[in-house]
């Protein structure tokens, strides 16, 4: 394969990954954990591309200094390339479960595997069982190169098991994404080994990272930038997902809004109004379970959904108490109060979701009017 072709592919892959990385770092992302994981994967990939580029440029040239450089860049290449694959596995697990305790366990497992791999690569510098270079600085596989293959394909096994265990918790689009990543990554690794063709590996890997980034952009479109919780799009996707599941399900869904929010904006300014929205969102989120849903439906309106087996009256009391406690501790010039209305939403029923929302909005307005008549506001 002409060297210029390899350089073109490596340079193109570097540009694509670099553009993804720069664009992602410039974006406002509400999930700091996701940002750290994905950026780590991108940085490792960029390092691997640079190392491979250096290897392609120097391989076959004579001299001890060149050979030393080749050993260093190839060791870094395998560390960063395999590391990026494992970080991608961590990323796929995180977006599937969003569970910090589980994430820490996965990171420990991944770190342990990579430390073993790094130790093997360092020992290889002395013994050459992984890879080595001839006197003419030509790259050769060592007799224990299968170590790299085992470690490289292990993430695919983890991803497949992970997908099998979590398929009920993720969307059809999500499942397709994971399959695309698995197919591209495994195909790239196989072609790289069997055909000794690293350009094909980078074409597949870059395509996988691009697919991941498009997934991130699509996911971020379902979250409210101001408050960090879901938006109206996420709510309707949630309802659509419920309606597609077999069997009847019942969820308690509430609509809440901030009393006198217009007065807060008009009196104290829109920046303070934004602060009020964030405070309410954080308070509601702190009171619910990971399985519950809260979104900012629009302006100062929030929607909360929990399974009907749980006591929504108790939850609303907990939210109201949390708001009261926040008012007591805050030095704001105004007091936050919420009005709400709720009812049971049953899937596969004749009532449309829009009619249901009108119903709970009316209940919320009735509570707000009752407060006004009693002088509570």
- Domains identified in the chain and CATH numbers: 3-220 (1.20.1070.10), 230-374 (3.30.70.270)
Of 155-164, 196-205, 227-236, which has the strongest mean pLDDT? 227-236
Q: What percent of the chain has pLDDT over 70?
A: 92
Question: What average pLDDT score do residues 222-233 get?
Answer: 86
Q: How far apart are CA 331 and CA 326, in angstroms?
A: 10
- Write down the pTM of the prediction: 0.72
Over the stretch 232-247, which tens digit does the pLDDT of each residue have? Answer: 998 998 898 888 777 7
Residues in a beta bridge with 340: 256
d(CA 298, CA 302): 7
Do the strands 301-307 and 338-346 form a parallel or antiparallel pair, or are they unpaired?
Answer: unpaired
- Residue 152 has a pLDDT of 81
pLDDT at 300: 93
Whether residue 197 has pLDDT greater than 70: no
How far, in Å, CA of 236 to CA of 228, rounded?
Answer: 17
Distance in angstroms (rounded) separating the CA atoms of residues 188 and 204 = 5
Per-residue pLDDT reduced to its tens digit, 202-219: 888 888 888 888 888 887
| Whole-number pLDDT of residue 301 | 95
Give 216-222's long-range contacts (Cβ < 8 A, gap of 24+).
216/24, 216/34, 216/38, 218/173, 219/95, 220/27, 220/29, 220/30
The pLDDT of residue 29 is above 70: no
Q: Between 194 and 87, name the one with better pLDDT.
A: 87
Mean pLDDT for all residues in the chain: 87
Confidence (pLDDT) at 131: 92
Q: How many CB atoms lie within 10 A of CB 137?
A: 18
94-121: average pLDDT: 89
Predicted pLDDT at 169: 59
**For position 283, what pLDDT does the model report?**
93
Per-residue pLDDT at 166: 65
Looking only at the bridges linking them, the beta strands covering 230-231 and 293-298 are: parallel
Q: Give the mean pLDDT of 170-175.
A: 63
Using the predicted structure, report yes or no on whether residue 198 has a pLDDT greater than 70. Answer: no
pLDDT tens by residue, 327-375: 998 888 899 999 999 999 998 888 889 999 999 999 999 999 888 888 7
């Amino acid at each position: 394969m002409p060297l210029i072709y390899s350089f073109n592919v490596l340079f193109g892959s570097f540009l694509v990954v670099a553009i993804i990385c720069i664009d992602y770092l410039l974006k406002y992302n509400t999930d700091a954990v996701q940002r750290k994981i994905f950026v780590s994967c991108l940085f490792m990939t960029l390092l691997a591309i640079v190392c491979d580029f250096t290897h392609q440029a120097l391989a076959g040239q004579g001299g001890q200094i060149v050979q030393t450089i080749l050993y260093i860049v190839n060791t870094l290449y395998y560390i960063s390339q395999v590391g990026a694959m494992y970080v991608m596995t961590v990323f796929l697990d995180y977006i599937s479960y969003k569970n910090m305790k589980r994430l820490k366990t996965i990171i420990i497992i991944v770190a342990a595997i990579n430390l073993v791999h790094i130790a093997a690569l360092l020992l290889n510098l002395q013994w050459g069982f992984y890879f080595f270079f001839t006197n003419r600085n030509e790259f050769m596989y060592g007799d224990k190169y299968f170590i790299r293959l085992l470690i490289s394909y292990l993430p695919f096994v983890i991803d497949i098991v992970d997908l099998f265990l979590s398929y009920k918790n993720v969307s059809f689009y999500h499942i397709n994404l994971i399959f695309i990543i698995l197919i591209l990554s495994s195909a790239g690794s196989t072609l790289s080994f069997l055909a000794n063709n690293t350009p094909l590996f980078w074409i597949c890997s870059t395509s996988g990272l691009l697919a991941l980034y498009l997934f991130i952009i699509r996911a971020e479109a379902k979250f409210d930038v101001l408050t960090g919780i879901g938006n109206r799009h996420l709510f309707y996707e949630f309802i659509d997902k419920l309606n597609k599941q077999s069997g009847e399900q019942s969820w308690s869904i509430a609509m809440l809004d901030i009393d006198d929010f217009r007065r807060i904006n008009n009196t104290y300014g829109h920046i303070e109004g934004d602060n009020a929205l964030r405070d309410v969102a954080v308070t509601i989120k702190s009171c619910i379970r990971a399985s519950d849903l809260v979104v900012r439906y629009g302006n100062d309106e929030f929607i909360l959904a929990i399974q009907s087996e749980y006591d929504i009256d108790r939850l609303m009391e907990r939210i109201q108490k949390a708001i009261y406690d926040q008012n007591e501790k805050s030095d704001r010039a105004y007091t936050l109060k919420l009005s709400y209305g709720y009812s049971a939403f049953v899937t596969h029923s004749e009532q449309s979701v829009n009619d249901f929302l009108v119903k709970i909005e009316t209940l919320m307005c009735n509570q707000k009017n009752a407060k006004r008549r009693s002088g509570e506001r």
